[in-house]
Amino acid sequence: MAGCGVPLHTSHHLRTVFDDTVEEHVIGEEYKIWKKNTPFLYDLLMTPALQWPSLTIQWLPEVTKLEGKDYSLHWLVLGTHTSDEQNHLVVAQVHIPKDTVQFHAPHCDSDKGEFDGLGSVTGKIKCEIKVNHEGEMNHAVCLWDINAGPMEGKIMGAKSMFTGYSAIVQDVAWHLLQDSLSVPVPDDQKLMIWDTRSNTTLKPCHLVDTLPKFNCLSFSPYCEFILAPGSADKTLALWDLHNLKLKLHTFKFHKDEIFQVH
């Protein structure tokens, strides 16, 4: 018992609640200060609210320039993190102001404590396509064609499914100069090169077995035959697609596993 007659576990709980409340208040005040100063920190900032948190997000390379509009259409892929509901990959449309647009002086909304001045740009993210994602580890790579599928938020099915892996696929790297070639990065120490022009999704066009465990992989933007995988053994290697049996070079002396190659 505490000296004031309050049980210790109750006192500890009240202290924890108080600390959490103070921390949330401090975070809220810091956020307000940051939000008011965003015009001086960034050229552009949009803060739309999502239905669900997203643990992964990626910009797509396509950009649509519209005549007579002061913005261009850009595309995002977001993963959802729901509370026991159906998860999706969401393809969303974003309006980004063109570089030539001259904005009016920012106006502060005293109610929101925010600045605006984006012209006709709403700052909203509009969901165009949803892809069901069960979250299961099925050792496969699925391919969707978002240009051929239904729009307006409808559910899209996979165009192709590439199988043959015995472990989780961690990543997929697309060839930068040959857009039909891709290389997934699985945990089963295999290197499979897939060609979407092939009539089969059961057999890759190239297969190399018993390799080091790759964490990531990237193709060279300068030479179409060079690829560079980052490995769990703390090395980065260069490979030539002409001869996948031998490494061209190995870069050592990294202090930890390599998870990204640019």
98 in the same domain as 81 = yes
Output the domain CATH number for residue 211.
2.40.128.630
Where is the domain boundary, 116, 140, 156? 156
188 half-sphere exposure, CB direction, 13 A CA radius: 16
168 in the same domain as 130 = no
Give pLDDT tens digits for 224-260: 999 999 988 999 999 998 888 888 999 998 899 988 8
135 in the same domain as 169 = no
Rounded Cα gap, residues 146 and 76, in angstroms: 12
Q: What is the mean pLDDT of residues 173-191?
A: 87
Identify whether 47 is part of a domain: no
146 in the same domain as 182 = no
Domain count, the chain: 3
Share above pLDDT 90 across residues of the chain, in percent, rounded to a whole number: 12
Give pLDDT tens digits for 94-118: 888 887 766 555 555 555 555 555 5
Q: Distance of CA 250 to CAs 188, 214, 230, 244, 254, Å? A: 21, 13, 10, 14, 11
User: For the chain, percent helix, then strand, then coil, each to nearest 5?
Assistant: 15, 40, 50
Where is the domain boundary, 105, 126, 156? 156
Identify whether 117 is part of a domain: yes
32 in the same domain as 58 = no
235 in the same domain as 167 = yes
Confidence of residue 1 (pLDDT cuts 50, 70, 90): very low
86 in the same domain as 15 = no
Where is the domain boundary, 156, 187, 207? 156
Overall size of the chain counted in residues? 262
Identify whether 63 is part of a domain: yes
Identify whether 259 is part of a domain: no
Identify whether 44 is part of a domain: no
Identify whether 3 is part of a domain: no
Query: Which residues form the domain of 70?
Result: 52-156
Identify whether 190 is part of a domain: yes
Identify whether 212 is part of a domain: yes
Considering the entire predicted model, what is its pTM?
A: 0.62
179 in the same domain as 223 = yes
59 in the same domain as 26 = no
234 in the same domain as 193 = yes
135 in the same domain as 177 = no
Q: What is the mean pLDDT of residues 32-54?
A: 84
* SS3 of residue 48 by DSSP: coil
Q: What is the mean pLDDT of residues 121-133?
A: 74
* Contact criterion met (CB below 8 Å) for 212 and 251: no
